[in-house]
Structure 1
């Protein structure tokens, strides 16, 4: 079943060069490292679509990334990075002398976006290598980064060992047939460089198969590099559970320097945010910290890193990884916007890819509670008024502050939801208008005040109020990409229900004729256990990044979350109609169009959710988690069949 999406995005190179210069100017060493690595990957993949090569462009890109790597290592080590950052600005500007593509496809580096991969850990691993072989031999080494994420990770390793002999390559081919293709110039360069030198191969992984590392090592051996001169820098020293036996033996015997175990990245983030000792609640451990959560399912292998901490006043804080560079910044903007709209907890700050926000005390909602929830009567539609709505709030008019029209412009003229969110959450904005005391947070980014209150006591009312506040906040200005959803549906539905399930052909035809609609970053996580029941109402948690994560749907139709609510909670159709009416008003869209889209997305959501829990059940090491996910899988299969049957 299909679960993951191709999250690549297209970037204008000139816009990115301007952004990189600004990051270097502002001293954002980690963001510069991550985003320069993305641009290097995008340019090289665009200029070398079939085989890697070497020219002055590759050389200058590499030198720029190595300088960013040196800036990061200096900052990570507690030294001034100003010299390297200034040099990086010059090199970034000099890249314009080359004939650069106008537009490049950038692949999200999953380790930075989702798995809290710490480039500082690679600096520590490189230091261990220097200690093992000596500084002189380390400086003579050749550093090969494996694109995508290996662009920036190899820059860190090269900067730490002191080598300027570095390049990146991308293994090509389908899974099971990965190999390196390089032109004569690049191969000749490697032969010249590698005589009597170690070659350090840098990537995350090795993953379940170790195929990428094996492909690069095989290529190096074909160029005459002895196997004992090949040194691996993986993100961990174990894995390869699906690899052939001989590859597992090769990896076990290979020279390798993985990052040290530990929570160094989170500890640095906590220190920058003024938080105390951390308690790791990742990988399902949060169930022990949340009353009533013991029976909630947890996909422990795919959860983001998360910690429980205390601030200086002794209040509990959630510290959760959301992505480095632009990814974490975007998540923090969404967190801030939700708080300003009265639909999320109080943000404290962000640092090193982690978000900090107030801990919410409560118990997860169970499906048994949902089944007892009071249905939303038609007469209740007029009571959806924002909590503590300021007199001038556009929420009262049905459009959340900071939302965009179909043109992508903000309703208040700020031009983007990010700018609107910052304005709405500033101490001179929503805090003063609502009479909420302004606070100064421990981060230099500031601490956004919160307008947050738990939603109404009835669960269906809570869902409707949350979605109506959220639905217009995170419009992207881009059309919905239906292709990955179509591909997922036509694969997942027959696999679950058999060939040609009734209604599938009609859904596919309707999907292909669906008018172009603007995508939003949806919540994409509306299962019952993602809600907490507090002393005064229901609270939605985990709401900032699943809608733009590594799994489907990605930025999608606003109807996605409405369809999700309909599938998850099976409310009466009158309740769904009220939800659609309220959200259509918030979006200033046709209620009829949103209702049609919601109906169409019900089977699509069910198919995506089914794929997600089916994968989780297969990967679950714990018997109880496997049983829970298998139960959810059966439930979603039934929901998928029912949703398709509506169109049969």
Structure 2
């Protein structure tokens, strides 16, 4: 393959897959033995990831130019990754959801001042591959990896004697502990540092490579917080790597992809997209900034004509590519904006100029007919659904959320509903569901047509739901558009005709209750994090969910 961004993307995709495989095999061994121990598998995995990381760093720092050199031993290293026929892999969340590019860790290592004698330790899952980026950038020995385990707020590591000897052989050298996070407790980072100190490594030799500049969360122990504040934390950011005016990597990639030279560029993450083209008296949609993906608006003026593109992180490797294909299919069918392509995990799509009116202002029948055609298309043509929660799991979460948010009585009512209708008379079939049919997600064009603003991401979001039966979609539409019982039946019948299936009222009622329970929990947590003007729209949404849930569980029309 010739040099360029496409080749670099392929290198990163292969690296992520290798990291997942190594993580899965090492975790299988850990489950079997109860400890992390040095083994031919640990050796081959670390060395293979190091080879691939070196290739990525060389490609990155050369501007994707020049030849590609891989250690001739890499095919043998790959063959040595033997294991059981079935291995449980974990999706690295940072690569899929949070724009955590592996190159960020290489750049952090190069700026750290650490030397090639540094002992690099990755924390599984994602730390398996991130540590390889650090060791390759430092020129250090291939990284080992550990699986902290135990209570989420009190992790610990158990390390066998052979691996312990290797890790401690350079105890007078620096140690780099690599992972994403820290999270609520920081105990994964803390458990590895605890073990090092317990085994004679001076605290002054410990360095952390996290994914953000914040401290561990509210569940962190005093000891871990104190150490975290005392020791160096080496990190870089996606903003500096991709948006620094000196390099302007992402604007340059988008320019090459679209053929439109960048005129201006702005970050519209965290709800800032609401300010673009909004009507003066428009209702402010609620947002949960913590779970919004990074997104940017790319603009240029040419010949008196303005061109704009939305550039949103969709996931590195196969994750982002699959979403681009899905978006292209939906655009071709007339349901979504045009997709220009992807740039190293970022999905680029045409920005849609709107008529500045909400979908709720359109005639009701027009909205219902469009929803039916959209959901029917997804059920018929995007039927290869992936993994998702079972109906039982959805019910359990909804009961918990209702009871915790609105009171035990509502939780009990939903439990009774689930017991009465929890065994649908037809077999449920997972599809590539949308999972986010809120009214503010729809765009009304100046010509009066409707487009779904964000139709490719939400069944692979960092939550429980995943891909679901079409009944989940109809239930979601019923909630978000406050459909009456006759309107819900009309929508269900229309979708059923298009999808070659039937949607019974009892199934829809149970799915609607589960949908309300899931959304209630999601937005209640968002309300707890929100401040200032952001609280009112979320509170209003929760109030509407409660009213509809009470009507549904009491068997009455709202």
Asked if TM exceeds 0.5, the reply is yes
- The 5 A counterparts of 1:549-588 are 549-588=461-500
C-alpha separation in 2, matches of 1:24 and 1:359? 24
User: What's the counterpart of residue 40 of structure 1?
Assistant: 22
C-alpha separation in 1, matches of 2:6 and 2:37? 28
Secondary structure of 2:291's aligned partner: coil
C-alpha separation in 2, matches of 1:27 and 1:495? 44
User: What's the counterpart of residue 64 of structure 1?
Assistant: 48
Shift, 1:253, TM fit: 1.4
Relative to structure 2, which stretch is displaced further, 103-112 or 145-154? Answer: 103-112
Q: Please tell me whether the aligned partners of residues 149 and 203 of structure 1 are also in contact (alpha carbons under 8 angstroms).
A: yes
Q: Does residue 628 of the first structure (1) align with residue 537 of the second (2)?
A: yes
Secondary structure of 2:474's aligned partner: helix
User: What's the counterpart of residue 280 of structure 1?
Assistant: 267
Relative to structure 2, which stretch is displaced further, 596-605 or 463-472? Answer: 463-472
User: What's the counterpart of residue 107 of structure 1?
Assistant: 90
Q: Please tell me whether the aligned partners of residues 187 and 223 of structure 1 are also in contact (alpha carbons under 8 angstroms).
A: no
Q: Does residue 255 of the first structure (1) align with residue 232 of the second (2)?
A: yes
Relative to structure 2, which stretch is displaced further, 75-84 or 460-469? Answer: 75-84
Sort the Cα spacing of 1:309 and 1:213 in 2 relative to 1 into closer, same or farther, 3 A: same
Shift, 1:263, TM fit: 4.7
1:28 to 1, 7, 10: 10
Q: Please tell me whether the aligned partners of residues 355 and 446 of structure 2 are also in contact (alpha carbons under 8 angstroms).
A: no
1:608 to 518, 521, 526: 518
Q: Please tell me whether the aligned partners of residues 364 and 531 of structure 1 are also in contact (alpha carbons under 8 angstroms).
A: no
User: What's the counterpart of residue 420 of structure 1?
Assistant: none
User: What's the counterpart of residue 76 of structure 1?
Assistant: 60
Secondary structure of 2:311's aligned partner: strand
User: What's the counterpart of residue 213 of structure 1?
Assistant: 189
C-alpha separation in 1, matches of 2:486 and 2:76? 59
Shift, 1:480, TM fit: 5.8
Shift, 1:373, TM fit: 5.0
Q: Please tell me whether the aligned partners of residues 385 and 433 of structure 2 are also in contact (alpha carbons under 8 angstroms).
A: no
Give TM-score, length-normalised by structure 1. Answer: 0.76
User: What's the counterpart of residue 299 of structure 2?
Assistant: 310
Gaps of 5+ in 1: 1-22, 377-457
Sort the Cα spacing of 1:161 and 1:185 in 2 relative to 1 into closer, same or farther, 3 A: same
The Cα offsets for residues 455-494 of structure 1, whole Å up to 9 and x where unpaired, read as: xxx3333322322222333223668641431331231122
C-alpha separation in 2, matches of 1:278 and 1:46? 45
User: What's the counterpart of residue 143 of structure 2?
Assistant: 166
Sort the Cα spacing of 1:222 and 1:307 in 2 relative to 1 into closer, same or farther, 3 A: same
- The 5 A counterparts of 1:216-615 are 216-242=192-218, 243-260=220-237, 262-265=239-242, 267-274=248-255, 276=262, 277-292=264-279, 295-310=284-299, 314-362=306-354, 370=360, 373-376=362-365, 458-476=366-384, 481-482=389-390, 483-499=392-408, 500-512=411-423, 515-537=426-448, 538-589=450-501, 591-593=502-504, 595-615=505-525
Secondary structure of 2:413's aligned partner: coil
The Cα offsets for residues 550-596 of structure 1, whole Å up to 9 and x where unpaired, read as: 1131111121111001111122333222322222233222x245x54
C-alpha separation in 2, matches of 1:605 and 1:25? 42
Gaps of 5+ in 2: 256-260
Q: Please tell me whether the aligned partners of residues 395 and 418 of structure 2 are also in contact (alpha carbons under 8 angstroms).
A: no
Higher relative contact order (CA 8 A, sep 6+): 1
The Cα offsets for residues 153-174 of structure 1, whole Å up to 9 and x where unpaired, read as: 1111111000124101111012
RMSD over aligned Cα atoms: 2.7
User: What's the counterpart of residue 258 of structure 2?
Assistant: none
Q: Please tell me whether the aligned partners of residues 205 and 236 of structure 1 are also in contact (alpha carbons under 8 angstroms).
A: yes
Sort the Cα spacing of 1:183 and 1:349 in 2 relative to 1 into closer, same or farther, 3 A: same
Secondary structure of 1:204's aligned partner: coil
